[in-house]
Amino acid sequence: MFGVGMTEVLLILAVALIVFGPAKLPELAKSLGKAIYEFKKAAMEVRQSIEFNDDVKDIKDKIGEGQVNTTTTNSSSSTKID
């Protein structure tokens, strides 16, 4: 966990308990947990957006090269373009 051992974690918690006090520590932990959750959520959205943009770029490149089959399999709506 970030190169921090159990002894260091206990020391950090003891200092936090002294600095913030027992009344504020649960509230601080809750706020920290929410912040971490929101950060992970935002990071996942950015990752998905980048992957989506890469997929769109790949499709555009294939269309530009003529590798994508754009014909429809629905025979009831046949459109002829001259």
Global pTM reads: 0.53
Q: What is the pLDDT at residue 82?
A: 45
Task: Report the b/e string of 14-42 with b at 16+ CB within 10 A.
Answer: eeeeeeeeeeeeeeeeeeeeeeeeeeeee
Q: Please, what's the largest Cα pairwise distance for the chain?
A: 80
pLDDT tens digits, 15-48: 988 998 889 988 988 999 999 999 999 999 999 9
- Of the CA atoms within 13 Å of residue 43, those in its CB half-sphere come to 6
Select the more confidently predicted residue: 10 or 72. Answer: 10
Is it the case that residue 62 has pLDDT exceeding 50?
yes
